[in-house]
Structure 1
Amino acid sequence: MGHQCFNCMKFHLCCFIFLATFALHLDRGSSATNETDKLSLLAFRVAITDDPFGVLRSWNDTVHFCKWYGVACSLRRQRVTGLDLQSKNLSGSISPHIGNLSFLRKLNLDNNNFGGEIPTQAGQLGRLRIFSVENNSVTGEIPKNLSSCSSLILLSLPGNQLTGRIPIELGLLSKLRLLLVSSNNLMGNIPASFGNLSSLERLYLAQNNLSGSIPEALGDLFRIRVIALGTNWLSGSIPRTILNCSSLAELDVTENRLQGNLPADIGFTLPNLKTFLISYNQFSGRIPPSISNATNLVFLETAMNNLSGGVPSLENLHKLQWLSYWSNYLGSGERHDLSFLCSLANATGLKTLDIGNNSFGGIMPDCLSNFSTTLTNLRTGENPTFGEMPRGIGNLVNLEGLYMYSNGLSGGVPFNIGNLRNLVDLRLDNNKLSGVIPSSLGNLEKLLKLGLSGNSFEGSIPSNLSKCQNLIGLDLYDNNLSGTIPPEVIGLSSLSLLLDLSRNHLTGVLPFEVGNLTFLVHLGVFGNMLRDEIPASLGNCEGLLVLEMQDNLFHGFIPQSISSLRGIEELDLSHNNLSGEIPKFLEAFDFLEILNLSYNDFEGMLPIEGIFKNMSATSVIGNDKLCGGMPQFQLPKCSFGASQTKKFAHKLQLPIFIFLGFLGVALVLASLYLYRLNRKRESVSTSSLNVSYRTIVQATDNFSSEKLIGVGGFGSVYKGILHENGNIVAIKVLNLLHRGALKSFIDECEAFRNIRHRNLLKVLTVCSSVDYQGNDFKALVYEYMVNGSLEDWLHPYPRQDGGNSHTKKLNFVQRINVAIDVASVLDYLHHQCQRPMVHCDLKPSNVLLDAEMVGHVGDFGLAKFLLNTSSDASANQMSSAGVRGTVGYAAPEYAMGSDVSREGDVYSYGVLLLEMFTGLSPTNEMFKDNYSIRNFVAEAVPERVLEITDDILLQERESCMSPGGPLYGHCQTKDIIQESLATLYEIGLACSVVAPRERVSITEVAVQLRLIRNKLYASGFHG
Structure 2
Amino acid sequence: MNSLQAKNFLCFSPISFLFYGLAIICLTSTNVSASYDGNETDYLALLSFKSKITHDPYKVLTSWNHSFHFCDWSGISCGKRHKRVNALQLNSQGLEGSLSPHVGNLSFLREISLENNSFQGTIPHELGRLSRLRRLHLNINKFSGVIPTNLSGCSNLKDLWLALNNLSGSIPKEMSLLSKLSRLVIQDNNLTGGIPTFLGNITSMEVFTARRNPFGGSIPDTLGVWKSLTVFYSGDCNLYGRIPHSIFNLSLLVNFSLAENHLSGSLPSEIGSQLPNLELLQLRNNELTGVLPPSLSNCSKLGLLEMGDNNFSGKLTIDFSKLRYINKIQLSNNNFHGRGEVDDMKFIDSLKNCSRLVRLELANCRFIGVLPTSIGNLSEQLISLHLGGNQLFGSIPSSIGSLVGLILLDLESNRFKGKIPSSIGKLQKMQFLTLISNQLSRPIIDDIGNLSLLTKLYLYSNKIEGHIPLSLGNCKELNGLALRYNRLSGKIPKQILQLPSLTNFLDLSFNSLSGSIPSEIKDLKMLSYLDLSYYNLSGTITSSLGECISLTMLNLRGNQFQGIIPSSLSSLGGLGVFDISQNNLSGKIPQFLDKWNSLEFLNISFNDFEGKVPVTGVFANASAFSVLGNNRLCGGSVTLELPECKEKGSKKKRFPFFISVIVIAPTLFIVLCCVYSFCKKKRNGKPSQSSGNERFLKVSYNQLLKATDGFSVENLIGEGGFSSVYKGILNCDDDDDRFVAVKVLHLQNQGAHKSFLAECEVWLNIPHRNLLKIITSCSSVDFQGNDFKALVYEFMPNGSVHDWLHSSENTSKLNLIQRINILRDVATALDYIHNRCQTMIIHGDLKPSNILLDNDMVAYVGDFDLARLLSADSVGLIPICWRQRQLQNSYS
TM-score (norm 2): 0.68
**Pairing of 1:930-969 with structure 2 (within 5 A):** none
Residues 618 and 220 (structure 1 numbering): CA distance in 2 closer, same or farther, change over 3 Å?
Answer: same
Given the alignment, which residue of 355, 361, 364 partners 1:357?
364
- Cα distance, 1:650 vs. partner? 12
Deviation at residue 630 of structure 1 after TM alignment: 3.6
Paired position in structure 1 for 2:188: 183
Task: Give 1:290 deviation, angstroms.
Answer: 0.8
CA distance in 1, matches of 2:664, 2:555: 34
Match of 1:382 in 2: 389
1:126 to 118, 126, 131: 131
- Output the CA distance in 2 between the equivalents of 1:309 and 1:92: 56
Aligned pair count? 643
1:463 is aligned with what amino acid?
A: L
Matched, 1:624 2:631: yes
Report the alpha carbon displacement of residue 202 of structure 1 after superposing the two structures with TM: 0.9
Change (3 A) 1:90 1:614: closer
Could you tell me whether the CA contact under 8 Å between 2:215 and 2:237 is conserved in 1?
yes
Structure 1 residues 50 and 545: alpha-carbon distance in aligned structure 2, compared to 1, 3 A threshold = closer
Corresponding letter in the other structure for 1:317: L
1:347 equivalenced with 2:354 (yes/no): yes
CA distance in 2, matches of 1:367, 1:578: 55
Residues 259-301 of structure 1 deviation map (CA, whole Å, 9 limit, x = unaligned):
1111111011000011111122111111011111111111111
Residues 1:79 and 1:158: Cα distance change in structure 2 (over 3 Å): same
Choose which of 317, 323, 326 in structure 1 pairs with 2:329: 323
How is 1:453-492 mapped onto 2 (pairs within 5 angstroms)?
453-492=460-499
Q: Render the CA deviation track for 1:75-108: whole Å, top value 9, x for unaligned.
A: 1221211111111122222222222222211111
CA positional deviation for 1:480? 0.5
Residue 556 of structure 2 is aligned with which of 537, 541, 549? 549
Of 588-597 and 390-399, more deviation after overlay is shown by 588-597
Distance 2:38 2:133 in 1: 17
Q: Distance in 2 between the 1:552 and 1:172 partners?
A: 77
Deviation at 1:634? Answer: 3.3
- In the alignment, which residue of structure 2 is the partner of 1:73? 78
Residue 515 (str. 1) matches residue 522 (str. 2):
yes
- The answer as to 2:398 corresponding to 1:391 is yes
Q: Which residue of 1 aligns with 2:121?
A: 116
Pairing 1:832-981 to 2, within 5 Å after superposition: 832=889
Structure-1 separation of matches of 2:622 and 2:123: 64
Are the counterparts in 2 of residues 332 and 359 from structure 1 also a CA contact under 8 Å?
A: no
Structure of higher RCO (CA pairs closer than 8 Å, 6+ residues apart): 1
Match of 1:163, SS?
strand
The answer to whether the Cα contact below 8 Å between 1:169 and 1:193 also exists between their aligned partners in 2 is no
- Which aligned pairs between 1:387-786 and structure 2 lie closer than 5 A? 387-638=394-645, 643=654
Q: 1:406 & 1:560 partners in 2: Cα distance?
A: 42
CA contact (8 A) 1:168 1:192 kept: no
What do residues 315-339 of structure 1 show as CA deviations (whole Å, max 9, x unaligned)?
A: 2111111111122223247411122
Displacement, 1:534? 0.9
Corresponding residue of 1:280: 285
Residues 784-803 of structure 1 aligned to structure 2 (within 5 Å): none
TM superposition shift of 1:586: 1.9
Match of 1:797 in 2: none
> Per-residue CA shift, 1:537-565, capped at 9, x if unaligned?
01111111211112212112211111111
Match of 2:152 in 1: 147
Match of 2:294 among 268, 271, 289: 289
Residue 820 of structure 1 is matched in structure 2 by none
Distance 1:556 1:677 in 2: 42
Secondary structure in structure 2 of the residue aligned to 1:359: coil
Contact residue 310 and residue 332 of structure 1 kept, 8 A: yes
Matched, 1:307 2:308: no
The change in CA–CA distance for 1:679 and 1:50 in structure 2 (over 3 A counts) is farther
Contact residue 504 and residue 890 of structure 2 kept, 8 A: no
Greater Cα offset, 535-544 or 569-578: 569-578
C-alpha deviation, 1:831, in angstroms: 8.6
Residue deviations 1:159-208 (CA, integer Å, cap 9, x gap): 11222221233233333221111111111132323223333221111111
How far 1:252 moved relative to its partner? 0.9
For 2:886 and 2:512, locate their aligned partners in 1 and report how far apart those are by CA, in whole Å.
35
Q: CA deviation at 1:680?
A: 12
| CA distance in 2 between partners of 1:50 and 1:830 (Å) | 48
Q: Which amino acid aligns with 2:323?
A: L
CA distance in 2: counterparts of 1:150 and 1:189, whole angstroms: 24
User: What is the CA-CA distance between 1:609 and the residue it aligns to?
Assistant: 3.6
CA contact 2:505–2:890 (8 Å) conserved in 1: no
Aligned letter for 1:318?
R
Counterparts of 1:148-227 in structure 2, within 5 Å, are 148-227=153-232
In 2 relative to 1, CA 56–631 (structure 1 residues): closer, same or farther, beyond 3 Å? Answer: closer
Q: Output the CA distance in 1 between the equivalents of 2:592 and 2:236.
A: 53
Distance in 2 of aligned mates of 1:454 and 1:173: 62
> How far apart, in 1, do the equivalents of 2:887 and 2:281 lie?
27
In structure 2, relative to structure 1, the CA distance for the partners of 1:174 and 1:614 (3 Å cut) is closer
Code of the residue aligned with 1:36 in structure 2: it is: T
C-alpha displacement of 1:138: 1.5
Structure 2: 5+ residue stretches without partners: 1-28, 673-718, 725-884
Q: Distance in 2 between matches of 1:33 and 1:368?
A: 74
CA distance, structure 2, for counterparts of residue 463 and residue 142 of structure 1 = 64
One-letter amino acid matched to 1:351: V
Segments of structure 1 that go 5 or more residues without pairing to the other structure are 1-11, 21-31, 657-675, 682-827, 837-1023
Q: Which has the larger radius of gyration?
A: 2
Q: What SS does structure 2 have at the residue aligned with 1:69?
A: coil
In structure 2, C-alpha distance between the alignment counterparts of 1:504 and 1:831, rounded to whole Å: 19
**Superposed displacement of residue 244, structure 1:** 1.3
Change in 2 beyond 3 A, CA 1:331/1:72? same
Q: Aligned in 2, Cα 1:552/1:83: closer, same or farther, shift over 3 Å?
A: same
CA distance in 2, matches of 1:493, 1:286: 50
Residues 325-357 of structure 1: per-residue CA shift (max 9 Å, x gap): 122223247411122222222211111111112
State the alpha-carbon separation in 2 of the partners of residues 452 and 277 from structure 1. Answer: 33
Q: Which residue of 1 aligns with 2:729?
A: none
Q: Secondary structure at the match of 2:46?
A: helix
- AA in 2 matched with 1:579: S
Amino acid in structure 2 at the alignment position of 1:527: Y
1:376 Cα deviation (Å)? 0.9
- Paired residue for 1:50? 55
C-alpha distance 39-489 of structure 1, shift in aligned 2 (>3 A): same
The CA deviation at 1:358 is 2.4
Between 1:184-193 and 1:230-239, the stretch displaced more is 184-193
Q: Contact 2:115/2:137 (CA < 8 Å) preserved in 1?
A: yes
- Partners of 2:255 and 2:280 within 8 A in 1: yes
- State the alpha-carbon separation in 1 of the partners of residues 220 and 886 from structure 2: 37
1:393–1:641 Cα change, 3 Å: farther
The farther-off stretch of 637-646 and 157-166 is 637-646
Query: Could you say what secondary structure the match of 1:303 adopts?
Result: coil
Change (3 A) 1:187 1:616: closer
In structure 1, give the amino acid aligned to 2:345. Answer: L
Structure 1, 446-455 or 602-611: larger mean CA deviation = 602-611
CA displacement, residues 783-834 of structure 1 (integer Å, 9 cap, x when unaligned): xxxxxxxxxxxxxxxxxxxxxxxxxxxxxxxxxxxxxxxxxxxxx9999499
SS in 2 for 1:210: coil
Distance 1:132 1:349, change over 3 A: same
Task: Tell me how far apart the structure 1 counterparts of residues 581 and 594 of structure 2 sit (CA, whole Å).
Answer: 18
User: Residue in 1 aligned with 2:841?
Assistant: none
Q: Secondary structure at the match of 1:81?
A: strand
- 8 Å CA contact 1:476–1:500 kept in 2: the answer is yes
Q: For the structure 1 residues 833 and 184, does the alpha-carbon distance in structure 2 shift closer, same or farther, using more than 3 Å as the test?
A: farther
